[in-house]
Amino acid sequence: MENLDEYKYKKAKEQVECIKSFYTHLMIYVIVMSALVYINYRTTSFVWVLFPAVGWGIGLLSHGLKAFGYNLLLGKDWEERKIKEIMDSDKF
């Protein structure tokens, strides 16, 4: 039973680290994009700031989905189900 508790603790700690990493990423995104918007506003009338905002925003979105446990392609907890399926099979 101790082994299961250790495993759950390890997975929970990894999840918390991933969420913490996402919030750091979000904060950096907001700061850098604010600076880029200001630079874009002060230098040219072409709205080039949309390109890095959308590109980086897609990366930020995928980081957030991973951090909060959403997997659009394989579904929630797919990895855990697959591990259990492989462990239950007689392949080892």
Q: What is the mean pLDDT of each run of 10 residues along the chain (92 residues)?
A: 80 91 97 98 96 97 88 71 77 59
Asked whether 68 and 91 are in contact (CB, 8 A), the reply is no
- The pLDDT assigned to 77 comes to 72
| Surface-to-core class of residue 36, CB atoms within 10 Å of its CB (0-12 exposed, 13-18 middle, 19+ buried) | middle
- The pLDDT assigned to 32 comes to 98
- The pLDDT assigned to 24 comes to 97
Hey, what's the torsion of the CAs at 56, 57, 59, 61, to 10 degrees?
170
DSSP for residue 91: -
- The pLDDT assigned to 4 comes to 78
- The pLDDT assigned to 92 comes to 55
